Structure 1
Amino acid sequence: MAFHTINGRSVAYRLLGAEVNPLVVLAHPLGMSQAVWDDVIPALLPRYRVLTWDLPGHGASQAVSGEQITPLI
């Protein structure tokens, strides 16, 4: 797992597979982490490059503090 800093917060992500393959981005449901994709990724890797990440405050990503976050509907 790798980390990238966005707006001063650490975000955990995985970028797996060959660069020449088409990219598939997988987002996890609220209250979970990118680990939800662990059983799916091996089936995708022969044909795709796969990007997963942990939303803020989920998994290994740093939580947002000092700001109110609301879902957009």
Structure 2
Amino acid sequence: AQCLKDDKMAESIAAFADAHQNMQILHINGCFHSDAHLGTAQKLEALRPELKIAVITPLERKQKGEKPAGDFVVWFDRK
């Protein structure tokens, strides 16, 4: 079921990218769908290899030392 959801999200992003070629796209999803460029990111890379895709991983500051599963990290403090 998760793979079908990843596939559909990637197909929707690809269709939007085709219709809006000069726009940057920000897609927000749970980390399960894109960590390590798997899931939605992997499917989108297969559909549109010419796109530049970056994965942003949010991590709590107390998780310092964990290896991020994305290209960029946004550190946060949980309140």
> Aligning the two structures, in what range does the TM-score lie when normalised by the shorter sequence?
0.3 to 0.5
Q: Whose strand fraction is larger, Structure 1's or Structure 2's?
A: 1
Q: Higher RCO, 1 or 2 (CA under 8 Å, sep at least 6)?
A: 1
Q: Whose helix fraction is larger, Structure 1's or Structure 2's?
A: 2
TM-score after normalising by structure 1: 0.33
